[in-house]
Amino acid sequence: MKAREYEEVCAFFENSNGGEAEASMEAVRSRFPHISVDTLLAIDSQLHTRRLRLSHHKLRQPHLVQQYISRYVEGEDILKISSVYEINPCLLARIILEHLFGLTKHQITECLKDPGCLPEDIVKQVSEGICISSSSQSSELVSAGDMNISLQTRTCHISWERLHDDLYKCMDNDNATSPYIELIRRVTGIEYEAHLYRQLKELGISFQTENDLREAGFSKTPDVKLDVPIAVKGRVVNWIDSKASFGDEFNHKNQAELQFQRFGPGMVIYWFGFVEELDIHPDVLLLDDFPSKQDIYCLPSLCIEPIQYLKSTCVHQRSLYVPSMCPQLSVR
């Protein structure tokens, strides 16, 4: 994909960001019918992730956190609050679990993976504390977690069941930060790595995986390190990186140079496409699929048997015999 077209796709996504996700994707597909759905989904996901990184600190400002919690205490569900503040539901759930219930990051992650892991004693303790404080006429603030919550109108009972249901709603309606989405991304990456391994094995190319290299003591490694270099489209390849994403300037930045410095010339496969103008490094080839057999040149496999001196004639002639290679190699 050319850089200009990529910018058009990004601009289209940004302009349609306010609508429903499905409607926005249909509009983009109609506008760019020649681009695969997988590529469009990858670009949209990456743009959303970057927007989230840029706005993350703003969404966690103390006065906003207090507003989130106050509304939740008053009875609104997390999904509705996330819609009002345009924040991802699972991110808002993390904020509430941290600041209202005082859970650790590890506990929060486990609760979002399985809401059944919610500690009932903590939920009950916080709920009872809020109810007692709200019944007191002299108290205007209630401490919960690490926040002072202003009770302005009414206080709704926070039960374990209510919070449990809210977490499931967040997971089902978050297309960016939900544990489901993280699982899909991780599994997709593993599937494409497995596909790469199969292709190499079918061609009889010997290689080491990332796990093999880490066991050998390497800290930062490519997905595949070839035991013997190959040539792809006339370029030397020592290593291969598998990327189940779209290759743009943001996620490709410094990637090629770092691997080149460690392992020499190599190849990066962006399975969902890449910006063509990025393919400028002379020693790092960019592709959007595994190369065809015609584009790959492998050094011939040499099954060399141990070199032996022939007892009589060969010793006299000062020659060596290599059975599977050539009839005679003269030793001078």
* pLDDT, tens only, 172-231: 988 888 888 889 999 999 999 999 999 999 999 999 998 888 888 877 788 999 999 999
Asked whether residue 205 falls in the same domain as residue 216, the answer is yes
pLDDT digits (tens, 9 = 90+) for 109-140: 998 888 888 887 777 776 665 554 444 443 44
Give the residue, 263 or 306, on which the prediction is more confident. 263
pLDDT digits (tens, 9 = 90+) for 273-283: 999 999 888 88
Q: How far apart are CA 151 and CA 134, in angstroms?
A: 7
Asked whether residue 262 falls in the same domain as residue 332, the answer is no
pLDDT digits (tens, 9 = 90+) for 226-247: 999 999 998 999 999 999 999 9
Asked whether residue 114 falls in the same domain as residue 74, the answer is yes
Q: How far apart are CA 102 and CA 76, in angstroms?
A: 20
pLDDT at 162: 87
pLDDT digits (tens, 9 = 90+) for 32-47: 889 999 999 899 888 8
pLDDT at 287: 94
Asked whether residue 127 falls in the same domain as residue 161, the answer is yes
pLDDT at 47: 87
Asked whether residue 105 falls in the same domain as residue 27, the answer is no
pLDDT at 326: 42
On the 0-12 / 13-18 / 19+ scale of CB atoms within 10 A, 82 is buried
Asked whether residue 191 falls in the same domain as residue 278, the answer is yes
pLDDT digits (tens, 9 = 90+) for 61-111: 999 999 999 999 888 889 999 989 888 899 999 999 998 888 889 999 998
On the 0-12 / 13-18 / 19+ scale of CB atoms within 10 A, 270 is buried
Looking at every residue in the chain, the average pLDDT score rounds to: 80
Domain span holding position 20: 3-59
Asked whether residue 83 falls in the same domain as residue 189, the answer is no
The domain boundary residue, chosen from 11, 40, 59: 59
Asked whether residue 187 falls in the same domain as residue 271, the answer is yes
pLDDT at 323: 44
Beta bridge partners of 326: 322
Q: Are strands 266-270 and 235-243 parallel, antiparallel or unpaired?
A: parallel
Q: Kindly report the pTM of this predicted structure.
A: 0.74
Asked whether residue 164 falls in the same domain as residue 196, the answer is no
Picking from 62, 58, 146, the residue whose alpha carbon sits closest to that of residue 100 is 146
Asked whether residue 229 falls in the same domain as residue 269, the answer is yes
Q: Domains in the chain: how many in total?
A: 4
> Residue 79 in contact with residue 89, Cβ under 8 Å?
yes
Asked whether residue 85 falls in the same domain as residue 17, the answer is no
Asked whether residue 232 falls in the same domain as residue 256, the answer is yes
